[in-house]
Amino acid sequence: MRRRRMGALHVGEQRVSFQQQQQQQQVGKNGHGHGAVVEEVHGLIRVYKDGHVERLPAIPDVPCTWGTTALPGVIARDVVVDRATGVWARLYAPAAAGRVPVVVYFHGGGFCVGSAAWSCYHEFLAQLAARAGCAVMSVDYRLAPENGLPAAFDDGLTALRWLRQQASYTAASDDLSWWRARCRFDRVFLTGDSAGATIAFHVAARLDQLDSLTPLAVKGTILIQPFFGGETRTASEKTMPQPPGSALTLSTSDTYWCMALPAGATRDHPWCNPISGRGAPRLDTLPLPAFLVCISEADILRDRNLELCSALRKAGKSVEQAMYGGVGHAFQVLHNYHLSQPRTQEMLAHIKAFVSRASR
């Protein structure tokens, strides 16, 4: 069992050979005395009959200083957000002086795997800080199934409370002065990919649960391949072919939702299906900020993402959408398509333009 704790969880740990992984996986299949495997996403997570959870080292964690922060000219540091829950964040900012908009980012992973310390997110968010010219707060939230929804949504609000505290901080100098000095706290954007985009959406919908955002101002929400579902399948969910090693298949999607939602809930739960789910609040009643929705053409979630854009527009919300051809789910962090690199640069340009327009 790889236990999550504050900081870069696996940094400095000895790498495991393929043969060792195979042996460990076989032992895992035999149960370690925890009984049968009842839920599994191959290569990422197993849940046993007694509730024991095993996460596999699919992607390495890296320290905030790794690779000179992936790009020169970007500074990164880790910080505790809430000691009680273990929530922490990795902060990024351009090294150059000057105040820039703030992106609060939630990583993907079906609510069940992933980390702000994963190398793929470290690289992508360092690029985002450099290319889009923004400060980034990458939130490491609690994971399901140990902490089922709405724990991740609650952690998102906790992250905003922490950010509000930083915006109100008056001390002359401390360990975070370098980051605060680069932040325009009146230009905040809630952002995430996959399940992280779902968190960003639900945090945006719950902003009224905060007593006050002042001096923060949330100017927009950027949803990258948002992970939503429903009992009725869309056309892309039913027919979109997925290559071997795809980041998200229909069965994987269903497994993640099974582990994340309350026991007995279906995919029409409003946390999964905010458009037509039973009990979902009407979108026109929510004080949602402007949206940029980034959609992958070869993603099984393509049609559901398009439905979300349509529903938000019908509710009177400001929505921009961008479609990325020839790539699938999580291409910008996994680089698993031959067009990943140019499409990632397109995405960063779209995010930069959206942040610039919404900040006016």
Q: Are strands 100-106 and 135-140 parallel, antiparallel or unpaired?
A: parallel
Query: Considering 202, 329, 340, 350, which one is annotated as catalytic?
Result: 329
pLDDT in tens, 241-251: 988 878 999 99
Tell me whether residue 194 is one of the annotated catalytic residues. yes
Measured CA to CA, the distance from residue 23 to residue 284 in angstroms comes to: 53
Contact call for residues 262 and 269 (beta carbons, < 8 A): yes
Bridge partner list, 137: 91, 104
Tell me whether residue 329 is one of the annotated catalytic residues. yes
Comparing CA positions, the residue from 6, 128, 137, 133 lying closest to residue 61 is 6
Query: What confidence tier does 18 reach under pLDDT thresholds 50, 70, 90?
Result: very low
Angstrom distances, CA of residue 199 to CA of 140, 144, 255, 342: 12, 13, 18, 27
Contact call for residues 130 and 351 (beta carbons, < 8 A): no
Query: Considering 299, 303, 340, 350, which one is annotated as catalytic?
Result: 299
Measured CA to CA, the distance from residue 16 to residue 274 in angstroms comes to: 41
178 three-state secondary structure: helix
pLDDT in the model for residue 75: 93
Q: How many residues does the chain have?
A: 360
Measured CA to CA, the distance from residue 216 to residue 162 in angstroms comes to: 11
Contact call for residues 328 and 337 (beta carbons, < 8 A): yes
pLDDT in tens, 90-144: 999 999 879 999 999 999 999 999 999 999 999 999 999 999 999 999 999 999 9
Q: Could you check whether the bond before residue 57 is cis, i.e. omega within 30 degrees of 0?
A: no
pLDDT in tens, 171-213: 768 899 999 999 999 999 999 999 999 999 999 999 999 989 9
Comparing CA positions, the residue from 71, 44, 46 lying closest to residue 59 is 44
Q: Which two tokens stand for residue 179?
A: 């980051």
Query: Considering 194, 246, 296, 340, which one is annotated as catalytic?
Result: 194
Q: Which helix (H) or strand (E) holds 333?
A: helix 331-334
pLDDT in the model for residue 243: 84
pLDDT in the model for residue 171: 72
Tell me whether residue 140 is one of the annotated catalytic residues. no
pLDDT in tens, 287-342: 999 999 999 999 999 999 999 999 999 999 999 999 999 999 999 999 999 999 99
Q: Within a 10 A sphere around the Cβ of 36, how many other Cβ atoms? A: 10
Comparing CA positions, the residue from 183, 185, 155 lying closest to residue 92 is 183
pLDDT in tens, 25-81: 444 455 568 999 999 999 999 999 999 999 999 999 999 988 655 567 899 999 999
pLDDT in tens, 247-282: 999 999 999 999 999 999 999 999 999 999 889 999
Neighbour-count burial for 170-180, b at 16+ CB within 10 Å, e otherwise: eeeeeeeeebb
Task: Output the average pLDDT for the chain.
Answer: 90
- For residues 6 and 289, the model is more confident at 289
Angle between the N-to-C axes of helices 340-358 and 119-132, in degrees from 0 to 180, rounded to the nearest 10: 50
